[in-house]
Structure 1
Amino acid sequence: MLAVMIGLLIGIGLPMQTSINSRLRQSLGSPFLASLISFALGTVFLAAITLIGQHTLLISAVLLRQQPIWLWLGGIFGVIYLTGNILLFPKLGSVQTVIMPVLGQIIAGLLIDNYGLFYSLATPLSVSRLLGALLVLLGIVGAVGLDDWLAQRGKKIHQEAVVATTHGGLWLWRLLGVLAGMFSATQTAINGHLGQVLGSTMQAAFISFFVGTVALLIVVLILRPKFQFKKGQSQPWWMWIGGLIGAFYVLGNVYLVPLVGTGLAVVIVLVGLMVGSLLIDQFGWLESRQNPVTRVQLLSLAVMVAGVMLIRLV
């Protein structure tokens, strides 16, 4: 039960981190700069708590030689997922930008568990786990898109939907969205094993964030986005704390994976993500536009919870 609660809490924090980073991007004028600052602040925070707990940030050269190279690449996979979402949004719209990566996360999580990839806890793919994953995906689709579909039924189809059905090239973007989600689930599995190898969830989370920060720094140096800090508007203090929420997210995943496996960890976090998104919409937190939660969304959330219970308990 503790693992489930931790997964839900870090999942709830994810949409809050997205809103916070979006606000930072609005002030800085570049999503890549905002992501770099977020990662850098998270890295500094994790470095501090790692030094307090472990008294060192260094890894032995012997351990570096003995372990496979993929063990140290979790942070890069996280950057790929983050950058993928930035690129997908203008191509697919908000609904599909959520659904496609989620589909990839669920698929990769189940495959990793079934085959015990990346030394993850091996859990064979049963009918109940598959049905539970399908219920979670169905709930997410209902929560983010069913209301819009019902509102448009019998009316002129939204222009975005027309574009999506008439341009076959968008299927490539959808596939990239699924792949981005699979990278995210792979990062979860890798970081979980890294925590076991190092014997420290804090140090594993620090390494993941540090590698991600270096990767983002390289991206920023290549793209050289313009820094445009907008001084004419109020700058809330909370727009700088997205990295801290991301740090707790990585810490939580490092703790969860050895206990429940990658697939269930991903699914639990996804349920928390949807809960957090609905809370932000309902109350208009973090300068977001207030959109009261509908009955369809609550029903969809209940379907997701049923899916988690089916995966976890059966």
Structure 2
Amino acid sequence: MNKSKYSVPLLMLATILAGTLSPMQSAVNGELGHWLNDGNACAVISFASGLVVMFFIIMAKKETRQQFASIPSLIKNRKIPLRNWFAGMCGAMVVFSEGASASALGVATFQTALISALILSGLLCDRFGIGVDEKKYFTSYRVIGAIFAVVATIFVVSPQWHSTSFILLAILPFMAGLLAGWQPAGNAKVAEATGSMLVSITWNFIVGFTILGIALLIRISLGHVSVQLPDTWWMYLGGPLGLMSIGLMAILVRGLGLLMLGVASTAGQLLGSVLIDVLIPSLGNTVYFVTLVGTVFALLGAIVTTIPDFKTARLAESEAQS
């Protein structure tokens, strides 16, 4: 009885804390991108560090090695639609935008723009059946949630309306969020085909690293950029932080379900973003009052958007019990 009473609040708290890993990753990649002065190079390093970790995890077990080795035949036989194998491109865009804009925008503004776009993307993907098995039509709750997301983005960029460069930078995480809204569905299909989420995550990193790496090599060969690796150890933690976030969410979802996990992780992301900007002044990011208002609107958007699904889930649960 006590377990039932306290387990959900504790899991919610754990998810909020796990959600703070995402803004931590944005802060690390933002500083790395600022140091390198190149978002492309930053993204390659971030993906490479995560890929190294996943390589050792995959190679540790015979089963995952075999599952990973099956990927070429699965692609050839069109086990799943080809587009799902390129879901890592969406993650590549997110990491690239972190390196290119998180330092200049501030973590709170970056994460709010990203999350707001994720809400909009999820709404559109559900409506048109993109990456989901069943379409979910527009409802008043979903539309209101999307409006909150748009308002949140407007709030966080409003202090810098006069700066064209700031607005252009803010478009990067917003566009990345629109693309990344489909990414979990693509990764889930890869996991289903290979039989392993670990293999799916590894493949996701390989795709992102390959695409970004090719782009970087072309730019280096043309003399457009030169890369000097930083000697600050924590600048290499972007990839591992992302992996930790993915792993913890995969564990916590079993106790909370997708709806509560989504809201709690969003709360953690937004709270962590503001705390990083406030508590680490050396990053040079200003948290305006409208930034705080924007984060609240983004959180409200995430909560309101889940209301119809939450009601459906509760109804299904009550029917099952009866």
Q: TM-score, normalised by structure 1?
A: 0.72
Q: Does the aligned pair in 1 maintain the 2:39–2:100 contact within 8 Å?
A: no
2:89 — aligned with what?
76
For 1:228, the equivalent position in structure 2 comes to 228
Gaps of 5+ in 1: 149-159
1:16 aligned partner: 24
| More divergent stretch after superposition (214-223 vs 2-11) | 2-11
- Asked if 1:210 corresponds to 2:206, the answer is yes
Q: CA deviation at 1:181?
A: 2.4
Tell me the distance in 1 between the aligned counterparts of 2:288 and 2:213.
41
Q: Which residue of 1 aligns with 2:50?
A: 42
Separation of aligned partners in 1, 2:233 and 2:71: 38
**Is the alpha carbon distance of 1:265 and 1:194 closer, same or farther for their aligned partners in structure 2, counting shifts above 3 Å?**
farther
Aligned to 1:284: 280
Return the match for 1:260 from 258, 261, 280: 258
Name the structure 1 match of 2:233: 237
Aligned residue number for residue 308 of structure 1: 302
State the number of aligned residues: 287
* CA displacement, residues 217-261 of structure 1 (integer Å, 9 cap, x when unaligned): 10110111212356xxxx44322211101223445677769x638
Q: 1:308 to 1:161 in 2, by over 3 A?
A: closer
Contact 2:153 2:294 in 1 (8 A): yes
Q: Give the Å deviation of 1:199.
A: 2.7
TM-score when normalising by structure 2: 0.70
How is 1:47-196 mapped onto 2 (pairs within 5 angstroms)?
47-53=55-61, 54-56=63-65, 57-64=68-75, 65=77, 66-84=79-97, 101-120=114-133, 122-139=135-152, 141-142=154-155, 144-145=156-157, 148=159, 161-162=161-162, 164=164, 178-196=174-192
Task: Name the CA shift for 1:187/1:131 in 2 (closer, same or farther; >3 Å).
Answer: same
Residues 30 and 265 of structure 1: CA distance in aligned 2, closer, same or farther (over 3 Å): same
Q: Quick check: 1:114–1:122 contact (8 Å CA) kept in 2?
A: yes
- Separation in 1, partners of 2:20, 2:239: 15
AA of the residue aligned to 1:161:
W
Deviation by residue 1:167-223 (Cα, 9 ceiling, x = unmatched):
9xx999887765432211122221133223333221111110111111111011011
Query: Deviation at 1:273?
Result: 2.3
| 1:72 CA drift (Å) | 0.8
Distance in 2 between the 1:28 and 1:172 partners? 20
The share of aligned pairs that are identical, in percent, is 23
Deviation at 1:276, TM superposition (A): 1.3
**Are 2:266 and 2:302, in contact at CA under 8 Å, matched by a contact in 1?**
no
Does the 8 A contact of 1:191 with 1:254 survive in 2?
Answer: no
Partner amino acid, structure 2, of 1:223: R
Deviation at 1:11, TM superposition (A): 3.5
RMSD between aligned residues:
4.0
The more displaced of 187-196 and 34-43 is: 187-196
1:154 is aligned to none
* Larger deviation, residues 99-108 vs 198-207: 99-108
